[in-house]
Copies of this chain bind each other. A is one copy, B any other.
Amino acid sequence: MSSQPVEDAAPVGRVQRKRGRRVQEILSTAAELFGERGYDAVSLDDVAERLDVTKGSLYYYFPGKDELAVAAIETLGADWTGRLERLAATAEGPPHERLRALIREHVAIAVGEYPAALRLFLVPSTWPDDPRERIKELRRRHDQVFRGVLEEGLASGEFAVTGLETTLQCMHAAMAQAPLWCGGLESDARERALDELADTLVKLVAAAQ
């Protein structure tokens, strides 16, 4: 929004870029941790330890835990949604196959990398509006990937739903909870469980034939 003087905006000095890279390192480490355990269960000491620095350093880059967490969650969300968007763009086949692939990839990421993602969307309602809005925005962009495929299938008559948004919410909920009940399974059993989950969720859009 607020544009800066030209010399500050475009070609930032080497030092600035280095700082930028450091910020990214911190965010990506923090995203890992928050994705594994959720906001409450991660302390700044935890983040610092995984980065091999001390807590004080983090305050050189972020004003506080909340800001770091929101930025980390945005990093996590951008990564996750980005991968789904790429899949949606390249996947071939009829809508139900593409939808199934999306679901399958989503839960694979959830179970394997961000098992606590569910907790991240349970933002305490005591948080200020700005960060809550930013997290909702992540969710919107994420849902948009699924919504696209759903609308495609609805247009072609291959899908039918009671309500589009409700269907999306149900899918999202079931996928988000997947780590809870198949996180502990052996890898082959887990694969089968996730396959079954995908098949089950595809039923939500089945056209009565």
| Interface residues in chain A, defined as those with a beta carbon under 8 Å from any beta carbon in chain B | 38, 40-41, 118-119, 121-122, 124, 161-163, 166-167, 169-170, 172-174, 176-177, 180-181, 193, 196-197, 199-201, 203-204, 206, 208-209
Q: CB distance A204 to B208 under 8 Å?
A: no
Question: How distant is the Cα of A199 from the Cα of B180 in the complex, in angstroms?
Answer: 25
Shortest distance from the beta carbon of A140 to any chain B beta carbon, whole Å: 12
Q: How many copies of this chain does the complex contain?
A: 2
Question: How distant is the Cα of A175 from the Cα of B2 in the complex, in angstroms?
Answer: 33
Across-interface contacts of A199 in B (CB, < 8 A):
162-163
Question: How distant is the Cα of A174 from the Cα of B170 in the complex, in angstroms?
Answer: 5
Q: CB distance B204 to A203 under 8 Å?
A: yes
Across-interface contacts of A181 in B (CB, < 8 A):
169
Shortest distance from the beta carbon of A202 to any chain B beta carbon, whole Å: 9
Which among B174, B193, B203 is the interface contact of A203 at CB below 8 angstroms?
Answer: B203
Q: CB distance A166 to B204 under 8 Å?
A: no
A-B contact pairs, 29 of them (CB 8 A): A40-B40, A41-B124, A118-B122, A119-B122, A161-B200, A162-B199, A162-B203, A163-B196, A163-B199, A163-B200, A166-B193, A166-B196, A166-B197, A166-B200, A167-B200, A170-B174, A170-B197, A170-B200, A173-B173, A173-B174, A173-B176, A173-B177, A176-B177, A200-B204, A203-B203, A203-B206, A204-B204, A208-B209, A209-B209
Across-interface contacts of A204 in B (CB, < 8 A):
200, 203-204
Question: How distant is the Cα of A163 from the Cα of B203 in the complex, in angstroms?
Answer: 12
Q: CB distance A200 to B162 under 8 Å?
A: yes
Question: How distant is the Cα of A170 from the Cα of B182 in the complex, in angstroms?
Answer: 12
Question: How distant is the Cα of A40 from the Cα of B126 in the complex, in angstroms?
Answer: 13
- Listed from nearest, the 8 A-B pairs whose CB atoms lie closest are A173-B177, A170-B174, A162-B199, A173-B173, A173-B174, A163-B196, A162-B200, A166-B196
